[in-house]
Structure 1
Amino acid sequence: MSFIDMVKIEFKKVKRSFILPLIFIPPLLVVISGVSNLSMYFTPEYKGAWAAMFVQSGLLFGYYLLPFSMVVTCVMISGRETKNNGILKMLALPISRKKMAVAKWVVLLIFIVLEITIFFISFVVAGWVATKTKGISETLPVLYVLKWSIYLFLSSIPAASLMWMITVFFEKPIITIGLNMLLVIPAVFVASTPAWVAYPYCYSGRLVTSELHRVSMGVDKMPFDLFPLIPCAIAILILSIFISAVSFGKKEMK
């Protein structure tokens, strides 16, 4: 069985679960909140109002709502196998445990893509409606929103790999959710320290924070050092995927 076929099978297992309704909620909440506060941004002295509104929405989404939904998605993906000892039946098949673990992680990434896509589409649609109903003359920067939506996805991948590793490690969902939530909550504080490069849970929020500073200062570009961020993020990504792949199914086989 090819890896792509495994991903398709894993996706079919969970596509009828509550994951899809779940990933609609955070982006819609953020966008509705942002659009409802349009009057705060569109004033004569405010330049780049759309960017400011998107960044303010992205802060809440990047720091908390996206990671929280990722945690629950991890547990729901894992829970499809643990119910009725389905994991034991799956492990009895002549299929690599490591490939299974990575396939499930890829499914997690697919759901993250879907959630951020919903965030992007919702923002664009809500912005278009707002320009028509409130008489806003400033054009909605669709490419800007798209660019930062892609940044949000890329910066969330290392955290997703750590969340999946923790999910594989612990059998009880309450422990997985509790531990990951405890790691998500201090992300906004860690992001303001030099240790943020080694803390993937704050990557998305930190990137949006840097853009907030740029927008608030009214400059074209803010310096953002990608070293040692990228090497550190890649190392965390590879290590967490490797550990989750090696550990997957071991506790059930004991």
Structure 2
Amino acid sequence: MSFFELLNIELKKVKRSKITPLIFIAPLLVVASGVANLSSYFTPDYTDAWPAMFIQSALVYAYYLLPFSMIVVCVMIAGRETQNNGILKMLALPVSRYTLSLAKFCVLLFYLFMEMVVFLVVFVAAGLIAANTSGITEALPLFYLLKWCIGLFLTMLPCMATMWAITILFEKPLLSLGLNLFLVIPGVLVANTPLWIVYPYCYSGYLVSCSLHDFTTESSDTAFAVFPFLPCAIMIFALVLLVAVTRFGKKEMR
């Protein structure tokens, strides 16, 4: 069985689950509240309305709501295999458990991508309504929005790998859920220290904080520095994903 066949099977498993409605909750909540709170200050001559609305919506979303929703998705994906000893049945098949773990992680990334698409669509719709209501004629900065949404997706990858590794390492769903939630909460505090670079739970929030810095200052230099962030993030992603892949199903095979 090829990897893509296995990936297709994993996607079919979660097709009728409650995960799909879940990914709509966080974007709807954060965009509706963020745009509504800020739009009351708009006037027809207001400038940079779109960046202001994006930052207002994305700050809480990147630091908390996006990680929270992905933690629940992790637990739900892993939980489908623990029900009725499903994991034992899968491990009995002539399929590498390493490949199986990677396929499940790719499903997790698929839901992350889908949530980012939902966030972008909901934000554009809410922003257009707010702009038209306030009489703002500022053009939709689609490239700006795509750039930051892609940035959110990429900076979430080390965090996703860490969440998945914790979900695999701890057999009880409540334990993995609680630990991941505990690690998300101090993200905004760690982002304001030099330790942010080794704390993947704050990467996406830190990116939005940097966009806020760029928006409020007149400096041409961006606050987000690719180096040394990129090598550190790649190393963390590779290490924790390696742990997740090698530990998947190991307890059940004893």
Q: TM-score, normalised by structure 2?
A: 0.96
Aligned residues: 254
Contact 1:190 1:202 in 2 (8 A): yes
Q: Give the SS at the match of 1:47.
A: coil
Letter in 2 for 1:122: V
Question: If the length of structure 1 is used for normalisation, what is the TM-score?
Answer: 0.96
CA distance in 1, matches of 2:134, 2:52: 18
Q: Which residue of 1 aligns with 2:243?
A: 243
Contact map agreement 1:27 1:115 (CA 8 A) in 2 = yes
Corresponding letter in the other structure for 1:35: V
Q: CA deviation at 1:222?
A: 2.1
Letter in 1 for 2:109: L
Superposed displacement of residue 217, structure 1: 1.8
For 1:218 and 1:114, locate their aligned partners in 2 and report how far apart those are by CA, in whole Å. 34
Range 128-137 or range 104-113, more displaced:
128-137
Determine if contact 1:164/1:244 at 8 Å carries over to the other structure: yes
CA distance in 1, matches of 2:193, 2:41: 29
1:97 pairs with 2:97: yes
Which AA in structure 2 matches 1:15? K
Unaligned regions of 5+ residues in structure 1, if any? Answer: none
Aligned to 2:226, the other structure's residue is in SS state coil
For 2:7, give the aligned amino acid.
V
**Equivalent residue number for residue 166 of structure 2:** 166
After superposition, the Cα gap between the structure-2 partners of 1:134 and 1:44, relative to the gap in structure 1 and judged at 3 Å, is closer
Superposition pairs of residues 147-186 of structure 1, within 5 angstroms = 147-186=147-186
Aligned residues of 2:198 and 2:232 also touching (Cα < 8 A): yes
Q: Equivalents in 1 of 2:83, 2:105: separation in Å?
A: 19
Question: Percent of aligned positions with the same letter in both sequences?
Answer: 57
Match of 1:132 in 2: 132
Are 2:43 and 2:134, in contact at CA under 8 Å, matched by a contact in 1? no
Deviation at 1:252?
A: 1.5
Cα distance in 1 between the residues matched to 2:49 and 2:131: 12
1:183-206 C-alpha deviation (Å, 9 max, x unpaired): 000000000000100000000000
User: Cα distance 1:143–1:41, how it changes in 2: closer, same or farther (>3 A)?
Assistant: farther
Q: Is the 8 A contact 1:41 1:53 kept in 2?
A: no
Q: Aligned equivalents of 1:220 and 1:21: distance in 2?
A: 41
AA partner of residue 191 (structure 2): A
Any conservation in 1 of the 2:169–2:247 contact (CA below 8 Å)? yes
Structure 2 segments unaligned to the other structure (5+ residues): none
The structure-2 alpha-carbon separation of the partners of 1:223 and 1:193, relative to structure 1 and needing over 3 Å to count, comes to same
Residue matched to 1:75: 75
Deviation at 1:116, TM superposition (A): 0.5
SS at structure 2 position matched to 1:230: helix
Match of 2:192, SS state, is coil
Instruction: Give 1:7's aligned residue.
Output: 7
1:27-66 alignment to 2 at 5 Å? Answer: 27-43=27-43, 47-66=47-66
2:41 and 2:85 mapped to 1: Cα distance? 53
Letter in 1 for 2:4: I
- CA gap of 1:48–1:133, structure 2 versus 1, over 3 A, is closer
Classify 1:57/1:218 alpha carbon distance in 2 versus 1 (closer, same or farther; 3 Å).
farther
Measure the CA separation in 2 of the matches of 1:43 and 1:218.
22
Check conservation: 2:190, 2:202, Cα contact below 8 A.
Answer: yes
Task: Answer whether contact 2:46 2:136 (CA < 8 A) is retained.
Answer: no
> Do the aligned partners of 1:167 and 1:176 also contact (CA within 8 Å) in 2?
yes
Write the distance in 2 (CA, Å) between the matches of 1:138 and 1:218: 20
Letter in 2 for 1:253: M
Between the aligned partners of 1:64 and 1:231, the Cα distance in structure 2 is: 24
Which region of structure 1 is more displaced relative to structure 2, 225-234 or 71-80?
A: 225-234
